[in-house]
Homo-oligomer: A and B are copies of this chain.
């Protein structure tokens, strides 16, 4: 599923947001945890089962509202191979519900190593000439510190599958400027140099909406930089973290979009997953709460942009 597909899903649902699926056991209502522990014990297997039930519930509740979900690999790796097994199931389930799946893995390596990652996450492992799919996301996030060598193998795998990637440009964390805002190149910054590299790496892969297969990640928490990056990367689809819990507002994220509200998708994880914690209940309403939060986020952002 390329950015053409993602853009179409955004237009169809009139919603440019992606719901994070951060598999933290603390986010799961206690009654779901207790049922899973009763069956599998308090431990890795029990936690995976509880999160799986929670993920399925979230996906069911959100799949007609949001165009995409973004599982964060760290929370699944945190639970070892059992977490990775549950991640494979979560990705497959989300896809079966028509959602575009961005695996937030932020991988970055080179040559045959990058190809191995790309096969595992986007295309298929090759064993004795046969192809075997595993994680099979629609899109992954990448770190380009190692240069084009670390991005091209993913673009190659993505091309064969009509998929796409997002590469970190200017991240949403408070300390992102420590390296990214250092003066670099000719009157530029490290993230500025990365912006130009990313437009170059993606060149020649534009789809019908004008976006290359190499999207960029730019945080909502730095609205000035977001405006600047949007202007200098006209062919780059943007993934925008940092809305909500991290402090980015709808007013801030409007600058990520181009004409007709195109070319960007805004992430919210805690704001949607943990919405049930703010209703005063014990979590039995987690689906309704997540759905209401997703609708509120959509409406909040759409006060500033019109999607056509």
Contact = CB atoms under 8 A, between A and B. Distances in A.
Contacts of A177: 147
A47 interface: yes
Interface in A75-89: 75, 77-85, 87-88
B168 A120 contact: no
Contacts of A78: 116-117, 119-120, 125, 134
Contact of A134 (B81, B111, B113, B178): B81
A85 B84 CA distance: 9
Interface residues of A, number: 72
Q: Which of A82, A85, A127, A145 has the most CB of B within 10 A?
A: A145
B146 A77 contact: no
A232 B80 CA distance: 37
B185 A185 contact: no
A182 interface: yes
Question: How many of these chains are in the complex?
Answer: 2
Contacts of A193: 179, 182, 190
A212 B119 CA distance: 36
Nearest to A193: B182
A160 interface: no
Interface in A108-122: 108-114, 116-117, 119-121
Contacts of A173: 110-111, 146-147, 149-150
Interface of A: 22, 24-25, 33, 37, 42-44, 46-47, 72, 74-75, 77-85, 87-88, 106-114, 116-117, 119-121, 125, 127-128, 130, 132, 134-135, 143-150, 168, 171-180, 182-185, 190, 193-194, 197
A117 B77 contact: yes
- Top 7 A-B pairs ranked by shortest CB distance? A80-B134, A147-B178, A81-B85, A147-B175, A184-B184, A81-B84, A74-B116
B144 A77 contact: no
Contacts of A72: 109, 113, 116
B179 A182 contact: no
